[in-house]
Amino acid sequence: MERQSFCFLFVQSTIHQIFSVSKAGPEQVSLKSIKITGAEIIDLRIPTSDQMLGSDPFHKMPDYSSAVLHLKTDSGLKGVSIVFTVGAGTDWICHGIQDLCQLVIGADLESLTESPITLYQRLIDHHQLRWLHDGVFRMAAGAILNAVFDLWAKAVRKPMWKLLVDLEPEFVVDCIDWRNIQDALTPEEALEILQRNRPALGRRQSDMQVQGPKAYCTAGWLGLSDQQILETIQNLQKQGFDSFKLKVGRDSEQDVERIRFMRDAIGPDCNLMVDANQYWGLEEAKRHIKRYLPFGLKWIEEPIARDDVLGYVELAETFKSASFGMACGEHAASPVIFKQLLKSRAIKYCQIDAVRVAGVNDIMAIVLMAAKYEIPICPHGGGIALCNMISHYGMWDQIAVAGHSETQLVEYIDFLQDAVEQPVKIQDGCYVAPTAHGWGLEFHPEFIERHRFPNGEVWKDRAANRKGAAFEVALK
C-alpha cells in the first residue's frame, strides 16, 4: 500500500460525515468558514522548585512550564496547545512555534483537516528547518498540529477523545507518516487493528464514560521528605489510587530504603514503580536494579538513556524473569525510536508523551505500533496540563485501538490542576471521561498573567536569576 493510498474524495467524505452530525450552535458551521487569523504564544512558568515538586536526579529544581499556543480565528474559536518544559528553554520553544505559525495563518480549518498528513509533512519536511530534526523543532511542530486538532474538535463540539474515536479507520491510517515504520507496522495492519474494534466501539465508549482510564501517581518526588511522601500516599489512597511511583537514582542506599518505605506504606497489593529519569549507564543500571528485586515492582522507568535501544534490549534480557519490565518513551522524540523499542520488545510499557513528538499524527503511529506488539500504553503526565491531553489518548486507545483497559495505567499529577478551567477529575482511582470540547487546555486568565515569564507577578523579584543556562544547580 502506498503511503497516501486513500483518495482525496474519501477524505473529504469522512470530514463531511464527522462534521454533519455536530453543531456549533443553532446553525451549522462550515469548517471552511473558520479561518486562522493570528497566533499568541505565551511563556508560562511556575516556580515548582520552591516546593521541590517534580524533582528527580537530573531535574533537581524544575519549574514546571509550558509554551502555550493560541491559534486565533475569525469565528472566535481558539485552537490551544502546549509544549511542556521544566523552566529554562521555554523561550526556545516559543520562538520555534512563532516561526512555524506562519505556515497556518491565513488557512481555513477545512484545508488543514481534510488531509492532516499534508500539514504534518509541510512542517516536518521543511527544506531547511528539517536539518534541526527532533527536539525543539519537532515539539514546536507538534504544538501547531495539536492546536489545529483542538480547533477542529471545538468546531465540531467534541472532546478530543470523541473526535479521535469517531474518525474512520482509513482516515486515521492516512494521518500517519509511514516512511520509516513499515518494517514494524504496515498500513494494512493498522487498518485491521482499528477495524476489528469497530463493532464494540459503542459498548467500549459507554464503559469508559462510566469509568475512565485507570490512573497512577508519583508520590515519591526526590526532594520530598518521607513524611511528605506518606501524606501524599494517604491523600491519593482516599481518592482510590492503588498505583504509585517513586523517583530513584541518586544514592543506592537511600533508594533501597525509600523503596522499602514506599512498599510498607502502600502494602503488598498495590502497584509500585520506580523512575530513574535516565540517570544511569547500562552497567550501573544493572547494579541498581538488582537491589530492587525483592520489592515486587511493576516497572523500572527510564533506567538509561531514552534512545539506547540496545541497552534496553540487554536490560530486558537480564531481568526477563523479574516481576517488573522496563518502561520508556516520555523522552523518545519520534515514532522511529518507538518502533525500535517496541519491535525489539525492549520495553513492556510504552510511555507516550503528548507534546514530545509531532502531535496527534505521531501519537497515532506509536499507539498503533504498541497495539500490534501488545505493549500497553501508559502515557506520561508529569507536567502542567499534560494530564488533560493524555486522558484523551488513554480514552482513544482503550476504546478504539487496544480496545480494553486491562493493562494500561495513565499518569496523574496531583498538583497544578487548578491552573486550567477544566481540570481533570479522578473517581475511584480512574480518570473521569473528559467532556470539554478539544483538549481542555484553557488556562485561567489570571493564572497566565501571574505566571508569564519574565514579567508576571510571581517572577518580578526572581526572573533575573532564572534565565536560561545561567540558572545552574549542582547535581551532587
pLDDT given at position 55:
63
**For 438, what's the count of Cα atoms within 13 Å in the CB-facing half-sphere?**
23
Residue 458 has a CB neighbour count (10 Å cut-off) of: 15
pLDDT given at position 48:
87
How many whole angstroms separate alpha carbon 350 and alpha carbon 184? 15
pLDDT given at position 465:
60
Which of the residues 158, 298, 380, 437 is marked catalytic?
A: 380
* Contact criterion met (CB below 8 Å) for 313 and 287: no
Domains (range + CATH), the chain:
202-441 (3.20.20.120)
pLDDT in tens, 395-424: 999 999 999 999 999 999 988 888 999 999
pLDDT given at position 426:
97
Q: What is the bridge-based pairing of β-strands 215-220 and 325-328?
A: unpaired
DSSP-assigned states of every residue in 4-67:
T-S-HHHHHHHHHHHHHT--SSSS---GGG-BEEEEEEEEEE--GGGTTTT--SS-SS---EEE
CA 371 from chain centre, in angstroms, equals 17
Q: What percent of the chain has pLDDT over 70?
A: 89
pLDDT given at position 19:
39
pLDDT in tens, 60-97: 678 999 999 999 999 999 999 999 999 999 999 999 99
CA 403 from chain centre, in angstroms, equals 19
- Nearest Cα to 114, choosing from 4, 1, 202? 4
Q: What percent of the chain has pLDDT over 90?
A: 82
* Residue 14: pLDDT over 50: no
CA 314 from chain centre, in angstroms, equals 26
How many whole angstroms separate alpha carbon 455 and alpha carbon 457? 7
pLDDT in tens, 312-346: 999 999 999 999 999 999 999 999 999 999 999 99
* Residue 110: pLDDT over 50: yes
Q: Is 247 a catalytic residue?
A: yes
pLDDT top residue among 287 and 470: 287
pLDDT in tens, 441-455: 999 999 999 999 999
Q: Is 476 a catalytic residue?
A: no
* Contact criterion met (CB below 8 Å) for 285 and 247: no
pLDDT given at position 356:
97
| Own/partner pairs, 466-473, CB within 8 angstroms, 24+ separation | 466/45, 466/47, 466/63, 466/87, 466/88, 467/88, 468/88, 468/89, 468/91, 469/88, 471/87, 471/88, 473/60, 473/61
Which of the residues 247, 288, 298, 339 is marked catalytic?
A: 247
How many whole angstroms separate alpha carbon 9 and alpha carbon 344? 38
pLDDT in tens, 131-183: 998 999 999 999 999 999 999 999 999 999 999 999 999 999 999 999 999 99
Residues in contact with 265: Cβ distance below 8 Å, sequence separation at least 6, in sequence order: 229, 230, 233
Cell 495539536: give the residue.
Answer: 146
pLDDT in tens, 239-298: 999 999 999 987 899 999 999 999 999 999 999 999 999 999 999 999 999 999 999 999
* Three cell numbers written together for 351: 510511555
* Residue 306: pLDDT over 80: yes
pTM for the predicted model, two decimal places: 0.91
pLDDT given at position 416:
86
